[in-house]
A = this chain, B = another copy of it.
Amino acid sequence: MRTIVIHATVLTVNQTNQVIYDGAIAFENGVLTHVGQMPDKLDTYDEVIDAKGRIVMPGLVNTHGHTAMSLLRGYADDLPLQEWLETKMWPLEAQFTEDHVRWGTSLSIIEMLKTGTTTFVDMYDHMDMVAELVTASGMRARLCRGVIGLCSAEEQTKKLEEASAFAAKWNETANGRIMTMMSPHGAYTCPPDYVERIVARAHELDLPVHIHMSETEWEVQQNVADYGARPVAHLEKLGVFNRPTLVAHAVHLTDEELDILARYDVKVSHNPISNLKLGSGIARVPDMMERGICVSLGTDSSASNNNLDLFEEMRMVALLHKGHRQNPVLVPASEALRMATIYGAEAIFMDEQIGSLEVGKQADFIMLNSHDVYFQPANDPISHVVYSASGRDVTDVYVQGVQLVKDGKCLTMEEETVIENANRMFELLEKK
């Protein structure tokens, strides 16, 4: 089956961020075979899709989240962080069963797909269920069982084995759409020797490490009090960065810490909206960019966002740092777009397969209705995508050449069933 999409405004996000007007992309067996001008002949294609009035661009990559937590969207906002965690989130999450994860993650998958995200990172529990849903939905994901080590040695071992078994079992499954990682939840939730054991396992399995780091000032000071070092030096000493590593948040960093991250080529998942909503602070993204650190974008969970529309993170990263530093040339639209696509792919060590529209890469792409007023006058499409678009403008989504969203409807998930069950599971939680 050879398919071609024609008459599109193509944002390639290749090396030069090339935009092709009235362009075409073609694919076969899930792989892009043409990205460029309209070919002279279309009769060699089995399917021809007219994308006039649409933008075609790479599917977005969401590099940090906890998808099951969509069940708690809007449940508790505007509270001090520790109160929010201790009295609201943790008591409810403690009640989560595999069924909660089933419906919370399903809700998230539908939302992500409909708003143009084709690949996501998930760090949570009951990950077999998540992997099964990814498989069924047709989406792409890099998954890890997030391990909290504040428990007995026995329990620690059990969790580590569970995380390893999951990672080994599911890596490179679902036709390569699922990849895995090993994930110590954070330096403040995993004792040093436990972090080392998890990292050793990541070495054995040859997998990257994903970890929360330096999200709040409190966390940094706690690390100094507990271990006599700020989180970056602490994790460096534990050997974490000797593995390919993706850190989430990275808000509170010194110059020296930024230099260490750059030296080890540690990837960052910048979660601007979650960091704002929880009052965590504003990450030093312009300084990361200056050092060549790979900055990607994550939503974190719907409980601290409260949605999974990565277009909003893309706009936020382009706006926030300009205003915070009072410098309007920081984080231009072209870089924000790359953070949501190719840098996202790089952050999860998959940039050879996804993140841009180039021949030989996977056919993971989305289409936006760019005829609406938000995109007029039809000026610079990259500017419009970053500063004016919404995930709601996404009409069609393909992963590996398979259509998952058509005219704004998710083809692979039962939307009504998911909404009904997500509400049912939320109701079942004992709230105080």
Hey, which bits of chain A sit against chain B, CB under 8 A? 70-71, 73-75, 77-81, 84, 107, 110-111, 114, 217, 272-273, 275-282, 302, 305-307, 309, 312, 315, 318-320, 322-330, 332-333, 371, 373-374, 376-380, 383-384, 387-388, 390-393, 415, 418-419, 422-423, 426-427
Which of B279, B318, B384 sits near A322, CB closer than 8 Å? B279
For residue A378, which residues in chain B have a CB less than 8 angstroms away from its CB?
Answer: 423
User: Which 3 residue pairs across A and B have the least CB separation, nearest first?
Assistant: A276-B323, A279-B328, A392-B392
For residue A330, which residues in chain B have a CB less than 8 angstroms away from its CB?
Answer: 279
B276 touches A376 (CB 8 A): no
Q: A81-B328, A111-B373, A111-B374 are in contact. List 10 more A-B contacts (CB 8 A).
A: A73-B384, A75-B377, A78-B332, A114-B373, A277-B322, A279-B326, A280-B323, A281-B323, A309-B374, A390-B390
Which of B312, B379, B387 sits near A307, CB closer than 8 Å? B387
Q: How many copies does the complex hold?
A: 2
CA–CA, A262 and B280, complex, Å: 30
A388 touches B280 (CB 8 A): no
For residue A380, which residues in chain B have a CB less than 8 angstroms away from its CB?
Answer: 74-75, 77
B423 touches A376 (CB 8 A): yes
- List 10 A–B pairs whose Cβ atoms lie within 8 Å, in order of A's numbering: A74-B383, A75-B379, A79-B328, A272-B323, A276-B319, A276-B322, A278-B322, A307-B387, A373-B418, A392-B393
Which of B73, B78, B275, B371 sits near A388, CB closer than 8 Å? B73
Most central of A275, A325, A377 by chain B CB within 10 Å: A377
B319 touches A377 (CB 8 A): no
B80 touches A328 (CB 8 A): yes
For residue A81, which residues in chain B have a CB less than 8 angstroms away from its CB?
Answer: 328
B78 touches A329 (CB 8 A): yes
CA–CA, A418 and B377, complex, Å: 10
A186 shortest CB reach to chain B, Å:
19
B423 touches A377 (CB 8 A): yes
A377 touches B329 (CB 8 A): no
A306 touches B384 (CB 8 A): yes
B376 touches A319 (CB 8 A): no
Residue in chain B with minimal CB distance to A315: B312
A282 touches B376 (CB 8 A): no
A408 shortest CB reach to chain B, Å:
10
A48 shortest CB reach to chain B, Å:
25
Residue in chain B with minimal CB distance to A419: B376
Residue in chain B with minimal CB distance to A75: B379
Answer whether A415 and B373 are a contact pair too, CB < 8 Å, given A74-B379, A319-B277. yes
B379 touches A273 (CB 8 A): no
For residue A70, which residues in chain B have a CB less than 8 angstroms away from its CB?
Answer: 376
CA–CA, A51 and B184, complex, Å: 47
CA–CA, A324 and B387, complex, Å: 21
CA–CA, A167 and B311, complex, Å: 40
Which of B75, B309, B319, B329 sits near A80, CB closer than 8 Å? B329
A419 touches B73 (CB 8 A): no
For residue A77, which residues in chain B have a CB less than 8 angstroms away from its CB?
Answer: 332-333, 380, 383, 387
B273 touches A319 (CB 8 A): yes
Most central of A78, A107, A426 by chain B CB within 10 Å: A78
